[in-house]
Structure 1
């Protein structure tokens, strides 16, 4: 087994939405979710059911685009070339942008990140490249270069996060690393050559192809499992969620609040601003972190508005979280709506590549990222106030 040195995971401690509420000093209008006023019950049911529809559609699109990526990877493995590698990279970027919008459905113990959920296999990050494959100065590192390790689903699953959270063996970023390689350039992504997948051109090329194939198969399995949990008309998580009323609204608020403040503003922007390290950007190998940020901000707005534009261009529209907050505090709802839209605009204005925006010398880039983090934090605080207005006091996972 590979035994890379363990180092503590980078990043700030995630701030729960509960801590944001503590800063508001507000008193809830009623004591517990069960005490929600009767005039909101029908609306809550409508909002929760529509939210479940958005979640299912989002994961269906994510799986469909991951299947396209799988086909491109199959083509790469069958005939490695510059063109087949470029096609696989293009498919990864497209699929990743759609998956990024689903992260607004995390952080409350749902099917994606329950204790036994697949999120650590799907999207774990940051990643120690040397745990997987050769890196600069360490040509024999990683499980790919260790023929004693069988490359199958069970083994890669067991290797994922073994002896450290950065020891990643599965998911989007492991696949990204194999497609692009290390990012050692200031002006672009990693430059892994197609020869790395060709027998006789690079050591363990066959194992590299096998690892990529297995990683992709595991990603599809895990995305299917989440999609099935949200499928309509089944005895599954969705069925219970749709009956949850205000408790399910609590979960929705936890998801958007935690992604806004703790994850996107904190882990993905503030950590990178503080460290100024290239590998503290989310999709560092492909240099597409700017896409990740936009996708997350779009996902937050999707949940708030109850609107999702599908991969085929069609639009799902219905009552979102905004509708509930409007009934409790119309002015607060307007402010959150403006803030959410502003956050998305600020995210869309981040130039690529992200790693150049966090450099100490790039004052304008750092200021842009700081403004985005501040906007995301502000909307999280207002979401906490909105939760208080609904009588929700326990805004923690679960």
Structure 2
């Protein structure tokens, strides 16, 4: 007999680690997403019922996969249309003591690429990834994205129907399509991370769960695609950002990177992030996530704000603008140029971006301009820019910060 608390802990750990693999295996066998999820849930329920009596198996993932596959067999046996699938399952059936899941990762890799297929709308990709790979409930996903649960349920149903009706293949893309498809996967994972990392409405525990799931799924992708450097670059970027999560706000007010308490940064995450970035860069195929991680590493490894290597950061933003051009990248580069080459040089770049109209309505444009004007001693102009930024700011945390700046002036 195993203590109930120990079983609950073991099942929870197995759910985090094995859910995606179990579901991926069943989808690969049946092509039926709903059947796969239902039978995977049945397997975890069976674990809660039998592990207290029989003990936690040596390989929980293998036990769960076999149990879920047996549930699929039972369901199909009751369905006359399931005969063909039953013949397929009979060939693939294995004993509970099959190899651990990390030796047969292809199903999970196929699932990641299918969830993030470009034929699906971007919000559907995010929701399907969290539901199918991470095992979040529809209610949890809806809460994370501040969406009504029925609306999120419909989004998931539409996504699964689209996969079936459009004949989206359950496979890793061929070599010629891999760079484009991998970029789509990484974009989904990074959005999930940012939804949890950025300050905004919603529960703190939900936001933390999102960043944890994004990091976990990216770790899986790194293991499944060891020769691709960009997943490692994204993982490094996430780790370096997560290392300073606890210092980003104080009593509901945003704390800028310059003023964060670096003694509270998580050094273990920083060390892992830098090591992961080094592994990615060693492949010598630079991508935008690696460059962003390198910028984050410059900040994370500087002993204090005054020793930040701004010329290096400006050069990295120039490279990022070449790889992934966007006005937001240009705005960040302008800040780095201001810190490296002087405030007038940075202000000229910011004014050029403002004149282009590419960031109209984006609160960080006037906020950045306000900060540079303040540093230049142009107080009246800085106040006007801070007021504009406060009007556009999307969260109370940022509005509180901008109000504080105005009071200082």
TM-score (structure 2 length as normaliser) = 0.23
Larger radius of gyration: 2
Higher relative contact order (CA 8 A, sep 6+): 1
Between Structure 1 and Structure 2, the one with more helix by share is 2
